[in-house]
């Protein structure tokens, strides 16, 4: 009898604990609205923490909508003993194609027939001043030059048999430099490598795998592989720059700018007008160091577009604007 009573006491104690826990959980249960309010309070940023953010919302939006910059890609310099015909032109055309397909820049090809990368290189040095002068004549923001520094071609496979398994390998090293024309300086420089391989069954000596046409095709495939990597680096470098255009003409109260819908401007955009800064040279050597920042003269408001890539603006603030003055998004 005493044992049976003890079991009943333990059962009641356990049951009471379960009831207490259920009641506690039910009493602490909150409505969905309460949870939403709590989440909002926890996620909301206090006034004092706003200053710690890396950049404002307006800055982030501005970067997303930056107008596209004009980029000039010069034909590459094939600085190797492997003289594949037009390899430098192929490399430049491939880079232009990939940059154009990104729709993040505007390609300028006017100088490609007149100048090549080697025209601006002496030994290991680039004639930056000459490159900048030519870039400014075209009104581009960025000039990209390139050099093919190494080409390797190898074959391996079976040495005997009527049908032989052959593997052809090609590897290419390239070097690229990106120049900021407005500031007159090198923006970035990097090297990349690419490779291509071909596996096939060949009869007898496999003359096709030994031909110059086959080697050229393999070299171009390896070059394309290297440029796939380089394109992202070029775009990253270009997007670090502040977009700039120029006043092309001033007539009857209207200001015409050499950038428009194609560049990514929209009606209502406010542009600040800046004087052309002075070129700075080293007093001892005469070497070109860069261009100083100009002074802000006022602002323009974009009204409409003309031609393939031009804009019509009206004066918003300021005066004494001149043709050739720089414009930037305000």
Q: What is the pLDDT of residues 185-198, one digit of tens each?
A: 899 999 999 999 98
Kindly report the number of other CB atoms within 10 A of residue 324's CB atom: 10
pLDDT tens-digit series, residues 167-222? 889 999 999 999 999 888 899 999 999 999 988 765 555 555 568 888 899 999 99
* Whether the predicted model's global pTM rises above the 0.75 cut: no
Mean pLDDT of 236-250: 90
Distances (CA, A) of 286 to 128, 137, 185, 294: 13, 22, 15, 21
Contact by Cβ (8 Å): 315, 240: no
Q: List CB contacts of 176: < 8 A, sequence separation 6 or more.
A: 144, 145, 146, 147, 189, 190, 191, 192, 230, 233, 234
> What is the spatial distance between Cα 181 and Cα 187, in angstroms, rounded to a whole number?
9
Q: What is the structure's pLDDT at 295?
A: 84
Domains (range + CATH), the chain: 63-238 (3.40.50.10610), 245-329 (2.40.10.410)
- Whether 45 has a pLDDT exceeding 70, the answer reads no
pLDDT tens-digit series, residues 88-117? 999 999 999 999 999 999 997 655 567 899
């Amino acid at each position: 009898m005493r044992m049976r009573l003890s079991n009943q006491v333990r059962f009641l104690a356990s049951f009471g604990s379960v009831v207490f826990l259920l009641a506690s959980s039910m009493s602490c249960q909150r409505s969905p609205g309460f949870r939403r309010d709590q989440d909002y309070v926890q996620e909301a940023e206090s006034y004092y923490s706003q200053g710690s953010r890396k950049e404002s919302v307006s800055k982030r939006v501005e970067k997303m909508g930056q107008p596209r910059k004009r980029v000039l890609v010069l034909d590459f310099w094939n600085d190797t003993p492997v003289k594949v015909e037009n390899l430098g032109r192929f490399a430049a055309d491939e880079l232009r194609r990939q940059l154009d397909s990104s729709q993040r820049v505007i390609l300028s090809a006017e100088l490609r027939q007149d100048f090549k990368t080697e025209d601006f290189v002496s030994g290991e040095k680039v004639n930056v001043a000459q490159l900048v002068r030519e870039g400014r004549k075209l009104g581009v923001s960025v000039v990209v030059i390139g050099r093919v520094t190494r080409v390797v071609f190898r074959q391996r496979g079976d040495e005997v048999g009527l049908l032989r398994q052959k593997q052809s390998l090609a590897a290419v090293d390239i070097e690229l430099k990106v120049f900021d024309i407005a500031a007159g300086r090198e923006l970035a420089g990097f090297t990349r490598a690419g490779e291509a391989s071909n596996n096939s069954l060949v009869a007898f000596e496999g003359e096709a795998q030994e031909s110059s046409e086959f080697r050229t095709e393999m070299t171009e495939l390896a070059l394309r592989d290297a440029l796939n990597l380089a394109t992202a680096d070029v775009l990253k470098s270009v997007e670090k720059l502040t977009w700039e255009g120029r006043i092309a003409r001033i007539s009857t109260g209207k200001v015409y700018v050499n950038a428009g819908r194609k560049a990514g401007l929209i009606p209502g955009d406010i542009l600040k007008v800046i004087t052309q800064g002075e070129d700075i040279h080293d007093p001892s050597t005469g070497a070109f160091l860069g261009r100083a920042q100009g002074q802000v003269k006022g602002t323009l408001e974009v009204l409409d577009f003309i031609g393939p890539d031009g804009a019509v603006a009206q004066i918003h603030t300021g005066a004494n604007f001149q043709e050739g003055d720089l414009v930037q998004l305000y």
